Amino acid sequence: MITYDRILIRYGEISTKGRNRNLFVDKLRRSIKRVLHDFPNIKIEAQRDRMFILLNGENSEEIVECLQGIFGIQSYSPAIKVGKDIDEMKEAALALFRKVYREGNTFKITAKRADKDFSLDTGEINQTFGSHILVNIPDLKVDVKKPDINIVVEVRKEACYLSCENYKGAGGLPAGSSGKAMLMLSGGIDSPVAGYLSMKRGIEIEAVHFYSPPFTSERSKQKVIDLAKKLSRISGGVALHIVPFTEIQQLIQKQVPDNYTMTSTRRMMMRITDEIRKKYDGLAIVTGESLGQVASQTMESMYAINDVISTPVLRPLITMDKGDIIDIAHEIDTHDISIRPFEDCCTVFVPSSPKTKPKLEKVQHFESFTDFEPYIAEAVEKTEKLIIKPNTLIDEEIENLF
């Protein structure tokens, strides 16, 4: 039986990105290589507007499966390359048809002719190939509207490509093609989803987590590591910065009235995250905030918190309903980790009645009696950086933390 010798990858958005195209294609090539590292014989051949994965005997079905989650791919099809000899093309098309045909299936031919010098035009290709298949398969019917099998015959300058299955890709932009941002990663449901969505648009993520020992336990840290591990599957690795936050939280408790501690805590988190961003050349901060969910996520609250930095804060979930966020959390397999019942630094110190509409001038006033600067510098200084890989054990590194 005839076998596919390649997979045709269509870029979609990338091909419209002008001068950046080379970068996009290069990042996509890397993503594919990483995901397909278990298939040593494949080769990648990138062109301006498409890419081929040359299988060299590797299993096309397994590879089709692996390509599903890769950002930057619009669609893909297993294909067969043949020379531009019409008889050879016809035989190959028939062989491909036999490979996928089940009794009762209808079919059509879709001709694509990029090579305008080819001796047959698209109508003639449809005719020639259609009738060749029809005479060879008894009782076969054509259905041009909704065929079970659509044999695509694509004639290019260098060769002809035959395919008949088209898979939808994950869309988005290739991992790491849009620059770096710091993801504020809590142990909750939302921030991993925000991380995932920003990675989908090509952002390279470094996660920042605030941790308050002994009020938060090793297990809650492990939870964040596990979440980062899920995200790392997209990019092959994610840096996770773990910030010791106990001292600052205790200071806030002491200096700021109870109903403003939450606002102040968030402001300190932002300041520290921004310092870490500077250190690692990030261009933005990503949070899991969604408008109106909790006290810290009203418009007034975001206004008062955002005031401490001028760096862009990206909030991919801002307009989303909780149910939709949860659906994505299930899809990306972070939900069950997020609902593990471990304490977060913010829940430990949560005030009994946080201001839902904090005033910027007030929080500024309350903070003005304390010089937080040295504490922030110390927290940044003591921040631990872990590199989280999809499947490596890093228990040893965890052991040595702090």
- How many residues form the binding site for ligand ATP (CB under 6 A)? 20
In angstroms, what is the minimal distance from the CB of 294 to Mg ion?
A: 8
Binds ligand ATP (CB under 6 A): choice among 28, 55, 93, 190: 190
Annotated binding-site residue? 89: no
From Mg ion, ligand ATP, none, which one binds at residue 288 (CB under 5 to 8 Å depending on kind)?
ligand ATP
Annotated binding-site residue? 268: no
Annotated binding-site residue? 21: no
In angstroms, what is the minimal distance from the CB of 140 to ligand ATP?
A: 55
Q: For residues 91 and 226, which CB has a smaller minimum distance to Mg ion in the complex? A: 226
By the 8 A CB rule, do 147 and 108 touch?
yes
Instruction: Write the DSSP string, 51-117.
Output: EEEE-TT--HHHHHHHHTT-TTEEEEEEEEEE-S-HHHHHHHHHHHHHHH--TT-EEEEEEEE--TT
The set of residues, in sequence order, having a beta carbon less than 8 Å from that of 335 and lying 6+ positions away, is 189, 326, 329
From Mg ion, ligand ATP, none, which one binds at residue 367 (CB under 5 to 8 Å depending on kind)?
none
191: closest CA among 292, 199, 267? 199
- Interacting stretch for Mg ion, rule CB under 5 A, among 17-25, 182-190, 278-286, 374-382? 182-190
Contact call for residue 188 and Mg ion (CB under 5 A): yes
Q: For residues 173 and 269, which CB has a smaller minimum distance to Mg ion in the complex? A: 269
Q: For residues 152 and 337, which CB has a smaller minimum distance to ligand ATP in the complex? A: 337
Extract the tokens encoding 37. Answer: 């590292």
Residue 119 CB-density burial (10 A; 0-12 exposed, 13-18 middle, 19+ buried): exposed
Residue 64 CB-density burial (10 A; 0-12 exposed, 13-18 middle, 19+ buried): middle
From Mg ion, ligand ATP, none, which one binds at residue 191 (CB under 5 to 8 Å depending on kind)?
ligand ATP
Q: For residues 160 and 228, which CB has a smaller minimum distance to ligand ATP in the complex? A: 228
- In sequence order, the β-bridge partners of residue 203 are none
- In sequence order, the β-bridge partners of residue 77 are 8
Extract the tokens encoding 288. Answer: 């899991």
Q: For residues 67 and 194, which CB has a smaller minimum distance to ligand ATP in the complex? A: 194
Binds ligand ATP (CB under 6 A): choice among 72, 130, 169, 188: 188
In angstroms, what is the minimal distance from the CB of 132 to ligand ATP?
A: 58
Residue identified by tokens 């045709």 is 8
Binds ligand ATP (CB under 6 A): choice among 14, 173, 185, 276: 185
Please state, in angstroms and as integers, the Cα–Cα distance from residue 334 to each residue in 32, 72, 187, 366, following that order. 23, 22, 10, 37
Residue 283's CB: how many other CB atoms inside 10 A? 15
Q: Give me the 327-366 binding string for ligand ATP, x by CB under 6 A, dash otherwise.
A: -----------------xxx--------------------
- The angle subtended at Cα 394 by Cα 392 and Cα 399, nearest 5°, is 170
Contact call for residue 186 and ligand ATP (CB under 6 A): yes
110: closest CA among 122, 100, 118, 120? 122
Q: Give me the 278-317 binding string for ligand ATP, x by CB under 6 A, dash otherwise.
A: ---------xxx---xx-xx--------------------
3-state class (DSSP) for residue 142: strand
The set of residues, in sequence order, having a beta carbon less than 8 Å from that of 168 and lying 6+ positions away, is 74, 75
Binding site members = 184-185, 209-210, 266, 288, 297
Residues that bind Mg ion (CB under 5 A): 186, 188
Q: Which residues are annotated as a binding site for ATP?
A: 184-185, 209-210, 266, 288, 297
Applying CB under 6 A, the residues found at the interface with ligand ATP are 184-186, 188-191, 208-210, 287-289, 293-294, 296-297, 344-346
